[in-house]
Amino acid sequence: MPPRTIEWTGELDGCAKLIDQTKLPRELTFLEIRTSHEMFEAIRRLSVRGAPAIGIAGAMGAVLAIRDFTGSPDELRSEFKIACDHLVSARPTAVNLAWGLDRMRRVARQASTDIEAIKQALLAEAKAIRDEDEAMCRAIGAHGESLIKDGCGVLTHCNAGSLATARFGTALAPVYVAHNNGRPFRVYADETRPLLQGSRLTAWELGQAGIDVTVLCDNMAASLMKSGRIDIVITGADRIAANGDVANKIGTYGVALWAAAHQIPMYVAAPSSTFDFDLEDGRAIPIEHRSEDEIRRGFGSLTAPADVACYCPAFDVTPAGLIRGFITDRGRIDRPSREKIAALLT
């Protein structure tokens, strides 16, 4: 297994310990985060990334903000609120960061009038958020591992792996479970331009676990499928509409079209919390566009004319009809429909 992405060492006098992902794939370095401000900086500079992992990091950062506090419970709650507001601003569009901090705020409101008890309750909640995420990933792995057959080729896109979660990941959880069960197979990792999460992170964490992994440029997967070396595609998801349309890292839709053209089943692995039943279908999902310099200066050097226009969406939407199945923590949904999704998850 790859090392734990983020954990809390010890009790209230401990610290958060996380893999510095800005150093990957060159070196494995752990950061020991001892203040809320250090956690803010770690989140902002992407030392920790991936929706679930950021949620955990925010919760632990909130604990760090008040663990040395002395004063009245009301003063603590006031201090805690300021810290949470600050932490959430590190990645304002990261839904899980706000979600994790909301859980922490609820605990702060409900806890007793004893300062120490409040602090202990907050630490327990942060640890619970982390443990629940790991359990969720394990459940996805258990529900998906039988899809990975002896000797098969698995294509994945971006990094929905251990590094994006407490551990195990979502798309990669079935891969880790199948590997632990002794099954031989090979993973192909799209490098995933522009930010190269596939070549930098997915290839690194699978290599750490001793899993056979091969990196390819995003435009090479079609010919790889045609050559017969891919038996299944598994990706993660950022948001899933009620009808099964999936928003995920840019490029996922293209992979799904290629998989369909080669009759290769495409699965999407995600926790049940990723399904948004307020969204009828994928048309309503807003697509964030990112800095054009991610394309123009992708490798630290100028790789395009400095003033050329670039098209740089962060996500795309894959229609439900291209998805053979969902792998969730509550079970699998094969050949998904609005009704099947609602039946399992609502």
Residues of this chain, 289-328, that bind a copy of itself according to CB under 8 A: 295-296, 298-313, 316-317
Is residue 253 a contact partner of residue 260, using CB atoms and an 8 Å limit?
no
224 is a site residue for a copy of itself (CB under 8 A): yes
Complex with a copy of itself: residue 112 or 303, whichever CB lies closer: 303
Is residue 249 a contact partner of residue 208, using CB atoms and an 8 Å limit?
no
Complex with a copy of itself: residue 13 or 299, whichever CB lies closer: 299
Q: What is the DSSP secondary structure assignment for residue 23, as one 8-state letter?
A: G
Query: Token digits for 137?
Result: 């990933």
Cα gap 21→204, rounded to integer Å: 11
73 is a site residue for a copy of itself (CB under 8 A): no
Selecting among 190, 238, 316, 329, the annotated active-site residue is: 238
Query: Token digits for 34?
Result: 């001892």
Is residue 12 a contact partner of residue 188, using CB atoms and an 8 Å limit?
no
3-state SS assignment for residue 328: strand
Report residue 333: phi and psi, to 5°. -125, 105
231 is a site residue for a copy of itself (CB under 8 A): no
Q: Is 281 a catalytic residue?
A: no
Size of the site for a copy of itself (CB under 8 A): 56
222 is a site residue for a copy of itself (CB under 8 A): yes
Is residue 215 a contact partner of residue 206, using CB atoms and an 8 Å limit?
no
Cα gap 143→231, rounded to integer Å: 18
46 is a site residue for a copy of itself (CB under 8 A): no
Complex with a copy of itself: residue 10 or 305, whichever CB lies closer: 305
Complex with a copy of itself: residue 31 or 211, whichever CB lies closer: 211
Residues acting as catalytic residues:
238
Q: What residue ranges bind a copy of itself (CB under 8 A)? A: 25-26, 157, 188, 190-194, 196, 199-200, 203-204, 207, 213-224, 226, 250-251, 253-255, 257-258, 261, 295-296, 298-313, 316-317
